[in-house]
Structure 1
């Protein structure tokens, strides 16, 4: 959370008159894009790898087959777990009016995935070019009906709640009782529970579960095995982790990340660093 105190770089997207500007970029495992913001709304999709997006208000883990919506002007960092093949659409402000003005993880349907790949074969899309205008319209139509995915970890402001959150983040797999962690932060469990509900909309236990799931997704993105991931993220058994994963993402980790390892066929060339 401390890196949000830095000054964000303003990354102005060229071709300001164009409706959508695209970017194709591959990143190595562990790479972090430093704190920055854009003058356009941004849809970031990874056809390979797992991304972690952090802002001043929360953390979002974005596994393969999902995307992250980042509205104009929000400072953020992006960290890669495993090698990441990133495809980005920068949308002219007010082009996608139904999407929220805060970050969120979204489902990327097979159709929207192919639209992103196709759009990225162009440097930018212009409404005055008939074929490109049709593509813009279909992309926007698909964005209007997206489903959001609960893969957010809200940040806290209250110093006592923040101390608890930071203690849990040091080692998400640690099973120290929450009562002890709360006392060490200088407040009772009851007080901390109230702080978490007020500031995050989650109970302390739910917040901890979300932290563990997001830690697990990053480990899976780095290529770790399910048994190792379950242990490192603090699940009692691999089956407990698989059940939690299935609840959020609708399938097992093996099937989900097996699919993500398929060869990409978007026809886009790797951009130079």
Structure 2
């Protein structure tokens, strides 16, 4: 049973909150009546929900709709800046869990909101900042860092094996053989339950492990080989396609964007 937390939105549409975590910290299962945007300035946050897991790299964020039960696991020193959002503030707030890109504008607005008063006058600077934050939330780009879990027990057990041993060769043929089903059948059911192709799910699982290990200071070479890549360059190419920079530069680049 998750703990239920409530916030007062009688005077403003969202409540900003700053909190820093140490490596290894965790928050047990809980939920809020409001929506939540967790923005990380450093470190990596792993968010567990009943529907899947969501890896939040530095400078990104995760959106959790109101009522979503979740638990947090912290990797590295995490500086988190969170918005608790009234679910009635806008009619078109995101309706599903998703890892999102935090634009430079939204990042600065979140920082500014931390210094705003609880109550404000109509037409004031505070009102405009709050309303602009809500505008920016509606247009956040979704990033491919979510690992949706299938509903059936057999497919969930398969995904747990992959997540626990991501460095092994997880082909569709191998998975189908282990489940004693045809490859085409497995591919169809897997896509229907997760929304992803099997190979894409495996790639995301490996990326989630890589982000956690790199955040702890492991070398690119070690991470690449343990995740089953033939060379660090092959791993770096995949990493760059997803994140826009090489793994060697990603965490230093994230730190240079500054902690608030």
Who is 1:257 aligned against? 251
- CA, structure 1 residues 11+158, in 2 after alignment: closer, same or farther (shift >3 Å)? same
Range with bigger deviation, 188-197 or 105-114: 188-197
Per-residue deviation, residues 123-157 of structure 1 (Å, max 9, x unmatched): 74656582210111221222232211111111011
Distance in 1 separating the partners of 2:74 and 2:121? 33
Regions of 4+ moved over 6 Å: none
Deviation at 1:203, TM superposition (A): 2.0
Determine whether 1:214 maps to 2:208. yes
Q: Is the 8 A contact 1:29 1:81 kept in 2?
A: yes
Q: What are structure 2's unaligned runs of at least 5 residues?
A: none
> How far apart, CA to CA, are the structure 1 residues paired with 2:239 and 2:121?
41
Q: Does 1:66 align with 2:60?
A: yes
CA distance in 2, matches of 1:121, 1:229: 40
Partner residue in 2 for 1:132:
126
Is the contact made by 2:9 and 2:86 (CA closer than 8 Å) also made in structure 1?
A: no
Match of 1:161 in 2: 155
- Residues 212 and 234 in structure 1, CA contact (< 8 A), matched pair in contact too: no
Range 170-179 or range 248-257, more displaced? 170-179
Aligned: 1:175 with 2:169 = yes
Q: Give the Cα separation in 2 of the matches to 1:249 and 1:97.
A: 31
- Counterpart CA distance in 2 for 1:215 and 1:196 is 21
Return the alpha-carbon distance in structure 1 between the equivalents of residues 109 and 119 of structure 2. Answer: 12
Q: What does residue 248 of structure 1 align with?
A: 242
> In the aligned structure 2, how far is the partner of 1:116 from the partner of 1:125?
17
The CA deviation string for residues 38-69 of structure 1, in whole angstroms up to 9 with x for no partner, is: 11111110101111111111211110111111
Contact 1:58 1:153 in 2 (8 A): yes
- Secondary structure of the equivalent of 1:261? helix
Two-structure CA RMSD over aligned residues (Å): 2.1
Q: How many residues align?
A: 260
SS of 1:60's equivalent in the other structure is: strand
Q: Partner residue of 2:51? A: 57
Q: Provide, for residues 178-205 of structure 1, a one-character-per-residue CA deviation record: whole Å limited to 9, x for no partner.
A: 5344433343433322221111122222
Task: Could you tell me which runs of 5 or more consecutive residues in structure 1 were left unpaired when the two chains were aligned.
Answer: 1-6, 267-273
TM-score by length of 1: 0.87
The counterpart of 1:105, out of the listed 69, 92, 99, is: 99
Please give the TM-score of this superposition, normalised by the length of structure 2: 0.91
